[in-house]
Amino acid sequence: MGGPARIVIEHPSDQTSGAWAACQRAETLLQALEARFSRYRSDSLISQINRLAGTGEWTCIDEETRALLQFCERLWEQSQGLFDPTAGILRQVWDFSQGRHGDITKLPNLCAKVGWSKVLQSDQGIALSHAGMELDLGGVVKEYGADKAAQSFREAGFNHALIELAGDIVAVGSKTSGAPWLVGISNPSAPSETLVSLELNNSAVATSGDYQRYIEIDGQRYSHFLNPHTGWPVNEAASVSIISDSCLTAGAVATVACLHSGEDATTWLNDAGLPWLSIGQTGECTGPLAPAHPANDIDRN
Amino acid sequence: MAVIERGVKNAHSASTIKQSPLVRTLGAAVAALPAYQNTYADAPPEFTEVGLRYSHYSEDSLSEDKFIAGARGRYDIDVTQLWIEAPIGSNWSIAVDVQNDSMSGASPWFVGTQVDGQPGVIMSGASIYDNRVEVGATTRYFWADGNAGFNVTHSKEDDYEALAMAFDVAWNSADNARTWSASASTSNDRVEPVNGNIPVFIDQEDIDTASIYFGVSQILSSTAIVRIGLGYTFSEGYLSDPYKLFDARPDEHSRTALSGGYRKFFPEAQGALQIDYRYYSDDWGTDSHTAEVAWHQSFDRFALTPYLRYYSQREADFFSVIADLEQDFYADDFRLSSYGAITVGLRSTVQIGDWQMEGQLERYESDNDWGLYDGEAAPALVNFWRATIGISWRFD
Amino acid sequence: MHCALKFSSFWRNKRLEAFRFVVLCAVMSVAGCSGLEPVAAWERGYLAEEGMQWQSSAREAKFEGHVYTSKEASSGGNGAAGGGCGCN
């Protein structure tokens, strides 16, 4: 999934082998999701769908994929089209690894191929109506994987576990002592430094965005989130963390917050009604989860 | 990742996550995915709940044309229910319920003949005032496939005391699509009527009751469930009504009830159809049918449920409008007559954060003509209003 | 008058018998049904909705049961009977 993963399971000493088996099962689950949804694998379901773009041929999809796409559609509606799984092709113009932009003249052509409304769904499956269109579920698959792994632990009878997939964390229950799991949100410019500590009990936290990754255009900082309507990156860079009962919902709200800029992002976050934290370009924290104390008395580890 | 104890102190848990419209919409889509179902293991609630309900029950006064003597105003009852329910560890829960009923009003003493030949009611002379307090405690144990509970309840009022115990168990099938339930209870009651404005002729009598119930519920589809149940109750002891002048009932009573229910959810409408039915039959000659239909309509943060109940019962073998004292058993109690009754009501609930508020209003009217069964019309049939408000709070 | 009542109630009782029989059959067939489509765990979201519970609230159910048992001749229908009262 492209990031470090850590799993903690608290279990009775006689269930060690069961816990190992559960971890392996979780790993298998995540690998299966990657095999299905990775853009980098030519044999994945996503690549299959993308290859048939504009041909008029349907790709059959299973119920789980269909449900995941339904979720994406709801999020697309709720975010007024800001969240759009077809916006991935815009990356052909913006080279974030180099921190600069490519050929802007290609944008209008690419924008014509972006838009969830151009995705066709029927009993026969899914089809992309224009050639060159691409579906990219990278924005939801990792969070969904974390939730799925958590559920597999519950089904196996392990109700005290913590799953961390890079910035997406799911707490299954609390610790066996009854105390909540403690999770730290670190400073993106100094990852060893924790800005906020969260206590989780049967909930999830997802972090979207990283104000360290940005593009500079004419002296202005832009994040690596691309606005599907304009084709341009968002004129703001922040790291947003959300707590919800599912990592999928938390990640969705955080991602859309990063697709807004300025006041709109704050409005979106407050309307969502979930606990949120935003870390801005100079490391300043805002939101209900922001610590009350100033950042200068943080312990270092 | 460094983990230090500072920052937000209140743990974030699934049960305290608020439901904004956005989260609700996404949540519905999330619920359709494999990873988000309740685990098959039965578990105690994750939160503690404290609640308070107040209800006012008010019977219509007896109408002029059915009234002979006494006080016309019938019962007014104020009921307060207070409860707390909390998990204990990861497998147990406990609930304590306290209920107070404060009653006042007159009740039918016996039925006689009016000047014009029509039957009429002689009511008790003045209003009675009585207060009943009931305290009950239930402990419940949860395991992977089900749960079991044990309850003890004690109630006391001026002239009546009851002690009841009940045990119930529910067991889920392997795929969780079917749930079997069973329960058994006993109750030992003592009546010691108060010699007030109605003369009474017994000192102290006992009533013992035992009851069992079996039921099963089944998931029919992703939007529908159904259940059926069968119950049997047996009572023995002094079963007559000591406050009625002419009332002599058998000292044994055997009752059977067959019940069923159906729930169907309509996602486009965000509403659920609720249908419940019960058939009852006992060895005193009474049969009855009860049918209830309701529609639960969800909105953003509140819900409204209008409901309708139809009830019809057949008179007991020994009932007659004016008690027939020649028989071994006799009663003129309207509650043993043939009649039909309709309840129309509206229930509403509002969720604000960890608080839930409820309000309910209903009207009950009964009439001999509305019944499915033959039988003479008792003049003392009752109509009433009932209103309830309540508030409850859930916390970790 | 007693005889006349009995005769006219004969057919009414027959209708009631038939009604009872139909209800019993419906109930038995539901109990015995096994040819249902299985509903996968992830399709059960709707069943957890507030309106899909068997009781709107445990305390409301208890209160209603109490009112109807004291004002009507019938009882039962959901679980074993609870404690009594001197309700008049």
Assign residue B120 the CATH number of its domain: 2.40.160.40
Q: Which residue of C has its CA nearest to B178?
A: C31
Q: Domain tally for chain B?
A: 1
Q: C42 CB near a chain A CB, below 8 Å?
A: yes
Of B160, B298, B335, the CB nearest to C50: B298
Per the CB < 8 A criterion, the answer to whether A227 and A259 are in contact is yes
List the structure tokens of A259.
């697709």
Owning domain of residue B66: 14-395
> Is residue A210 over pLDDT 90?
no
Contact B233 C23 (CB under 8 A): no
Partner residue opposite B36 with nearest CB, options A243, A246, A289: A246
- In the numeric block, the tokens 């055997």 are attached to B254
- Cα(B226)–Cα(B275) distance, integer angstroms: 9
B8 found inside a domain: no
E strand or H helix that includes residue C5: helix C2-32
**What percentage of chain A exceeds 90 in pLDDT?**
39
Least confident among A269-278, B118-127, B135-144 = B118-127
Give Cβ neighbours of residue C46 (< 8 Å, ≥ 6 apart). Answer: B31, B222, B223, B265, B267, C52
Q: Which residues of B touch A32 (CB under 8 A)?
A: none
Q: Does the pLDDT value for residue A170 go beyond 70?
A: yes
Q: Which residues in C lie closer than 8 A to residue A64 (C-beta atoms)?
A: 42
* Token digits of residue B275: 């249908």
Residue B208 φ then ψ, to 5°: -115, 135
Q: What percent of chain C has pLDDT over 90?
A: 24
B366 contacts: CB under 8 Å, gap ≥ 6:
B311, B339, B340, B341, B342, B381, B382, B383
pLDDT average, residue stretch A242-251: 91
pLDDT at B274 over 70: yes
Does B160 fall in a domain? yes
pLDDT tens by residue, B215-226: 999 999 888 999
Specify the pLDDT at position C6.
43
Report the run of H or E that residue B231 belongs to, with start and end. strand B224-237
pLDDT at A114: 93
Q: Which of B197, B62, B199 is nearest to B130 (CA)?
A: B197
CATH code 3.10.520.10 for A180-297: yes
Which residues in chain B are contacts of C24 at CB distance < 8 A?
258
B242 falls within a domain: yes
Residue A103, C-beta contacts closer than 8 angstroms, at least 6 positions apart: A93
Q: In angstroms, rounded to a whole number, what is the distance separating the alpha carbons of residues C49 and B82?
A: 25
Is the Cβ of C79 closer than 8 Å to some Cβ of chain B?
A: yes
What residue in C sits closest to B50 (Cα-Cα)?
Answer: C59
Instruction: For residue B73, give both structure tokens.
Output: 């105003």
Alpha-carbon gap, residue C7 to C15, rounded angstroms: 14
The model's confidence at residue B7, banded by pLDDT at 50, 70 and 90, is: very low
Domain ranges of chain A: 1-39+137-166, 46-135, 180-297
- Give the Cβ contact number of residue A211 at 10 Å: 21
**Topology given in CATH for the domain delimited by A46-135:** T-fold (1.10.3980)
Look at residue B10 in the predicted model and tell me its pLDDT. 45
Tell me which chain B residues have a C-beta less than 8 angstroms from the C-beta of A151: 34-37, 39
Mean pLDDT, range B11-33, rounded to an integer: 71
B190: helix, coil or strand? strand
Question: Is residue B388 a part of any domain in this protein?
Answer: yes
State the average pLDDT over residues C49-78: 90
CB-nearest to B32 from C45, C60, C75 is C45
- pLDDT tens for A66-108 read 989 999 999 999 999 999 999 989 888 887 666 667 778 888 8
Measured between CA atoms, the residue of chain C closest to residue A148 is: C42
Q: Is the pLDDT of residue A247 over 80?
A: yes
pTM above 0.90, yes or no: no
Question: Side-chain half-sphere of A13: how many Cα atoms within 13 Å?
Answer: 0
Beta-strand pair B12-13/A190-201 = parallel
Assess whether pLDDT exceeds 80 at residue B39: no
Say if residue C65's pLDDT is above 60. Answer: yes
In this complex, the residue of B9, B14, B30 whose CB is nearest that of residue A202 is B14
| Residue B4 covered by a domain | no
Give residue B259's pLDDT. 96
Query: In this prediction, does ipTM exceed 0.90?
Result: no
Q: What is the mean pLDDT of residues B52-63?
A: 94
Q: Is C80 on the interface with B (CB under 8 A)?
A: yes
Q: From residue A36, how far is each of A58, A116, A118, B32, B242 by CA, in Å? A: 17, 20, 22, 19, 76
Query: Which candidate in B16, B26, B301 is best for mutational testing of the A interface (most A CBs within 10 A)?
Result: B26
B153 vs C49, more confident:
B153
The answer to whether the CB of B172 falls within 8 A of the CB of B200 is: no
The alpha carbon of residue C40 is apart from the nearest alpha carbon of chain A, in Å, by 11
Instruction: Answer yes or no: is B174 within a domain.
Output: yes
Per CB-CB distance under 8 Å, the chain B contacts of A157 are 41, 144
Least trusted range by pLDDT, from A199-213, B90-104, B346-360: A199-213
